[in-house]
Structure 1
Amino acid sequence: MLDNPRSPRVRAVAKLANRAARLETGLFLLEGPQAVAEALTFRPELVVDLFATPTALERYTDIADAASEAGLEVEFVTEQVLETMADTVTPQGFVAVCHQFPTSVKDIFNSEPKLIAILEEVRDPGNAGTIIRAADAAGADAVILTGRSVDLYNPKVVRSSTGSIFHLPVAVGATLQDVRDRARGAGLQILAADIKGGDLLAARNEGLLTAPTAWLFGNEARGLTDDDLVLADRSVSVPIYGHAESMNLATAASVCLYESAFAQRA
């Protein structure tokens, strides 16, 4: 059992909370039973190391079984060691180290997608992870984080996705111009979610949302720039019928993605 929080191995895992260490190693941190279970179920080959407290492994026997089936040995650690490794204050008994696995933008558009989400300069990791989760739930084919967006493997992005990063392709690092060109080449329209855009309900009534669509979402504070909006075929806004001053980016993105999912399945 690992019981020394200051050991080199424990410190190496803890360093993965920092982007520099992730870039150097090509690894990232996974925390909590839900995320670990999703990794073991959908992408077990990515898991390099799996750490757990004896109490947690005894409680989550499904994780113990999945690890065994994947040929992974679970290494026991103390609560103190787990807290040192994890980015959160309460890691809930599990920490894993995984290989990074971004999908190429080329592969995403070669797969003839019908619905994708593009994140341009989305900086808040909670928003990015939640949009990935919403895209997964809506049955989207992929998510693309442009080079100006938050790091996909930021621990808060990973946590907020609650395992959805293992369910659908996610590409990183491309420019918005390149993504736009590839989307159009693949026959997708680009709809920009923008507060100054046309009403989403009107777009639905026009039948606009039935077409293969790449939704474009911008920065939380500034939204999309004029240069970004020029790259879209049309701008659309989620109407606010009550008295709220605005809508959280991840919430608005969820509405847009589901509207397209409903229309495409109608």
Structure 2
Amino acid sequence: MTDEPTHGVGPWQGEWPTDERYDPELLANGDTRNVVDEYRYWTMDAIVADLDSKRHGFHVAIENWQHDMNIGSIVRSANAFLAEAVHIVGRRRWNRRGAMVTDRYQHVIHHPDVASFRAWMDERGIPIIAVDNVGEAQPVNKAELPERCVFLFGQEGPGLTDEALEAASSHIEITQYGSTRSMNASAAGAVVMYEWCRRWA
């Protein structure tokens, strides 16, 4: 029997580092968090500060999803692709389990309605790009994706509200090849974020 963790790393071996980014408790007991090796044994604040120094120029927004596990999943993807922030438009409460603790490292901002969300973006000159497979949407692989922008997703089924679509300066969709009309919203978010990173990261 061993005391080594089944994932992560055990207690620090040898002389401890003196860098203040390291957490003495993690050095002593090991680090089993789901973080890349670069951040092993670092404090949460140190990790967030380092991420903030190199975040990408895109934001992600979610409009009032019914299946709020999707919000957690998209927060996790936003962390993986180093989004500037995630914005939740509408209901404040969401199930954080799907985020797998990544919401501790990802800025999450709440807006009570589309109007306040749009005002926040307008003040900062950030164009809103609606992601929904209806109307005159352009395929994401062919559409213009600015270096600074926010991708706005709706709830599964009904998609984005008319108010949200009107707030957007452009409208994109993901080309699909099977029989289903739509894909899981959090999966769609990961596809769009990856496409942005392919061009800009």
Same fold (TM over 0.5): yes
Which of the numbers 112, 116, 128 marks the counterpart of 2:59? 116
**1:64 Cα deviation after fit:** 8.6
Letter paired with 2:171: S
Which of the numbers 133, 138, 149 marks the counterpart of 1:198? 138
Q: Deviations over 1:115-162 (max 9, x none)?
A: 11111111212211110011111111110112336x24xxxx322111
1:136-147 residue pairs with structure 2 within 5 A? Answer: 136-147=79-90
**1:60 Cα deviation after fit:** 3.5
| RMSD (Å) for aligned C-alpha atoms | 3.0
Unmatched 5+ stretches in structure 1: 1-57, 71-111
TM-score of the two chains, using structure 1 as the length reference: 0.54
Unmatched 5+ stretches in structure 2: 12-21, 27-54
Aligned equivalents of 1:190, 1:221: Cα separation in 2: 21
**1:258 Cα deviation after fit:** 1.4
Aligned equivalents of 1:124, 1:64: Cα separation in 2: 37
Aligned equivalents of 1:263, 1:250: Cα separation in 2: 20
Aligned equivalents of 1:251, 1:162: Cα separation in 2: 16
Contact 1:210 1:263 in 2 (8 A): no
Aligned equivalents of 2:112, 2:181: Cα separation in 1: 32
Letter paired with 1:138: F
Contact 2:73 2:186 in 1 (8 A): yes
Q: Deviations over 1:50-93 (max 9, x none)?
A: xxxxxxxx5639799699717xxxxxxxxxxxxxxxxxxxxxxx
Q: Deviations over 1:16-66 (max 9, x none)?
A: xxxxxxxxxxxxxxxxxxxxxxxxxxxxxxxxxxxxxxxxxx563979969
Contact 1:188 1:211 in 2 (8 A): no
Aligned equivalents of 2:164, 2:78: Cα separation in 1: 21
Identity fraction in percent: 27
Q: Which runs of 4+ in 1 moved over 3 A?
A: 58-68
Matched residue, 2:117: 179
- Relative to 1, partners in 2 of residues 1:158 and 1:210: Cα closer, same or farther, differing over 3 Å? same
Say if 2:147 is the partner of 1:211.
yes
